[in-house]
Structure 1
Amino acid sequence: MSDGLIPVKPPENELLIVTGMSGAGRTTAAHALEDLGWYVVEGLPAELIGTMMDLIARNPGSVEKLAVVIDVRSRGPFSDMMDALGQVRAAGLTYRMLFLDASDELLVRRFEQARRPHPLQGSGRILDGIVAERDMLKEVKAGAEVVVDTTELNVHGLAREITEIFTDDGPIQLRLNVMSFGFKYGVPADANFIADVRFVPNPHWVPELRPLTGLDEPVREYVLVDEGAGEFVDRYVEALKPVLEGYRRENKHYATLAVGCTGGKHRSVAISEELARRLAQVPNVTVNTVHRDLGRE
């Protein structure tokens, strides 16, 4: 868990150094930061940190938040990293350091499960490599602004911890895409949920509605006035609420709800718009609508 850190919104053009014990979760942390909009670089030689920050400073708006992952496999000793960071700070640029740690017992178990040697164990035991790395990093850890102990955290727990510390927007936001489509053009491959609304009366068979789409008010009224459609929307929204909240708890940032009718022009479009309107009222969920097959003949 984090050592008493109070999350602070990062300033523009901030540099975050992600380091710590091998096996403590740097890759998971890097992925979580990427989901939050950080530009993540792994394996950058320490002497190039200042060069990269200088390039970013010369191009305002190009990268506001840069995270550099450095470990014992990166080129150059950790003393080079501290020297480079000293130059960054001397140039008036800010940085923070995230240090990931875990108990020796857990690190040994993780390396054994992965069936990979510790990068510093040489011809010795895994524990020998861990002890050597811990001694090498003791000063780095002492200077870190953020220390997260991952001993009691699984992958999802660590991602959640990183998100809570470094997010700009408060609670984790789930981005939900509500996509209308036509079954005759194929089911979207990336859908997490698929709703079939072909049970609703089809406006295609009403001559004055046929040339319109589900974005037009007459079609919307025709579709949503149906008792089955209204009940479907009510119950589907209520059924999705605990699912979306569970996604947020598991640090899932994206989901797609695909709503299909025959051609993707009338029913699926109108019901997608209504579902999106209702789901946008769910806390910590942002909704985007896409009408995949609208405009096809």
Structure 2
Amino acid sequence: MLEKIQDGQKTGQKEDKFRLVIVTGMSGGGKTQACRYMEDLGYFVVDNLPPVFIPKFVELCKHAGGHVGKVVLVVDTRSREFFDTFVHILEDMNRDDVPYEMLFMDASDPVIIRRYKETRRRHPMAPSSRISEGIARERERLAPVRAKATYIIDTSELRKADLRDKIHRIFGTGEGEQMNINVLSFGFKFGMPLDADMVLDVRFLPNPFYIESMRHKSGAVPEVADYIAQWPVTQEFLRHLDGMIDFLVPQYIKEGKSQLVIAVGCTGGMHRSVFIAKHIFDRLGAKGYPAKLEHRDLMKNDVREHVREEC
């Protein structure tokens, strides 16, 4: 058996190819948010599964040819009468040496009451009475399950970012968990990208469009890039830009952001925005951040360039 842990300290358990995590706990304790973070880690999440179906579901997953390697089953008191079999199912799994981990999500009574007040939802254990009564009934019913928990996380004082860190620390593998960074060049005349987190307007930089020999070449062409880069205003801007990128990206990662879209716009999305977006992309690569580069409107200017790169 795994050592029982409080507040998400990880055990030295050897990770199997198939990993089964059962998530349970108090209504309003943070199960939904925890499962969202586990989905981000690549877990297949099944919500509100009656306990009696757990053994059969596990068997199906193990015979899925490796397509389902990490599974989260959410089991709680919403199962109503089915929930009474939960402890017996767990005992059967222990007896049959079925490996699993159980995460119990909890919070203090005042915090749970406040959360229910904010959402205006009924407590599943007290649909027609006071929330406090439902909490008391649920705690009593969950006591035997809580005693079997592998991990217990109390979210009473946790921010979402703190909960995410705990989930990643316990259930993450370190693979594919970095923030996805997309650097996008675009032309304002074609509209701003709706999914951008940060928009840089570089229309103040010298425009190669007015140089006949460069008009139909993109900002990725060395001749055009050298033209834009030679100006003092460009050099000063890049100094400020590098400092901002170097500062902001670690802050976003620390905050738990899973995706960052940096959009760089000029008039047509062909010269200046392409040059600056490529500069940001290269800067991120030099710092070791995985990033993608896309020139959204380059083809609209009838220029045949590579529109996507990865590092």
- What is the root-mean-square deviation of aligned Cα atoms in Å? 2.8
- TM-superposed CA distance for 1:29, in Å, is 0.7
Partner of 1:198: 203
> Offset of 1:256 from its aligned partner?
0.8
Q: 1: CA distance between counterparts of 2:211 and 2:15?
A: 56
Q: Which residue of 1 is the match for residue 174 of structure 2?
A: 169
- Once the two structures are superposed, residues 51-103 of structure 1 have per-residue CA deviations (whole angstroms, 9 ceiling, x without a partner) of 33333323334232211222111365334334445566677653211111112
Q: Does the 8 A contact of 1:98 with 1:144 survive in 2?
A: yes
Comparing 114-123 with 37-46, greater Cα deviation is found at 114-123
* Equivalence for 2:272: 267
For 1:100, the aligned partner's letter is M
Whole-Å Cα distance in 1 between the matches of residues 39 and 217 of structure 2?
41
Shift of 1:148: 0.5
Residue in 2 aligned with 1:295?
299
What is the alpha-carbon distance in structure 1 between the residues aligned to residue 199 and residue 219 of structure 2? 18
> What is aligned with 1:233?
238
* Runs of 5+ unmatched residues, structure 1: none
Tell me which of 183, 188, 211 is aligned to 1:183. Answer: 188
CA contact under 8 A between 2:50 and 2:82: conserved in structure 1?
no
Cα drift, residue 123 of structure 1: 4.5
For residue 140 of structure 2, what is the amino acid of its counterpart?
D
Amino acid at match of 2:163: L
Length-normalised TM-score, structure 1: 0.87
Is the contact made by 1:181 and 1:268 (CA closer than 8 Å) also made in structure 2?
yes
Structure 1 residues 94 and 214, CA gap change in structure 2 (3 angstroms)? farther
1:257–1:10 CA distance, 2 compared to 1 (3 A): farther
User: Which AA in structure 2 matches 1:2?
Assistant: D
TM alignment of 1:21-40, pairs within 5 A? 21-40=26-45
2:263 aligns to what? 258
Distance 1:261 1:61 in 2: 47
Between stretches 1-10 and 222-231, larger displacement belongs to: 1-10
Matched AA of 2:271: H
Larger mean CA deviation between 116-125 and 126-135 belongs to 116-125
Match of 2:308 in 1: none
Deviations 1:111-166 (A, max 9, x none): 23333332112554322221221121112111111111112113333233222322
> Quick one: structure 1 residues 203 and 128, their matched pair in 2 at CA, closer, same or farther if it must change by over 3 Å?
same
Query: Structure 1 pair 61/205, CA: closer, same or farther in 2 (3 Å)?
Result: farther
In 1: Cα distance, 2:205 partner to 2:151 partner: 54
1:221 is aligned to 2:211: no
**Are the counterparts in 2 of residues 160 and 250 from structure 1 also a CA contact under 8 Å?**
no
Matches within 5 A, 1:2-41: 2=7, 4-6=9-11, 10-41=15-46
Q: How far 1:25 sits from its partner (Å)?
A: 0.6
Q: Which residue of 2 aligns with 1:74?
A: 79
* Counterpart residue identity of residue 240, structure 2: R
User: Which region of structure 1 is more displaced relative to structure 2, 50-59 or 175-184?
Assistant: 50-59
What amino acid does structure 2 have at the position aligned with 1:231? E
* Cα-to-partner distance string for 1:201-220 (whole Å, 9 max, x where unaligned): 22333344333323333333
Q: 1:218 to 1:29 in 2, by over 3 A?
A: same
Percent identity over the alignment?
Answer: 38
Tell me the SS of whatever aligns to 1:12.
coil
How much does 1:276 deviate? 1.4
Write the letter of the residue equivalent to 2:73.
V
> How far is the alpha carbon of 1:275 from its aligned partner?
0.6
Q: Residue 236 of structure 2 aligns to which amino acid in structure 1?
A: E
Change over 3 Å in CA distance of 1:129–1:269 after alignment to 2 = same
Give the Å deviation of 1:249. Answer: 3.1
Determine if contact 1:172/1:248 at 8 Å carries over to the other structure. no
Q: TM-score, normalised by structure 2?
A: 0.83
Partner of 2:108: 103
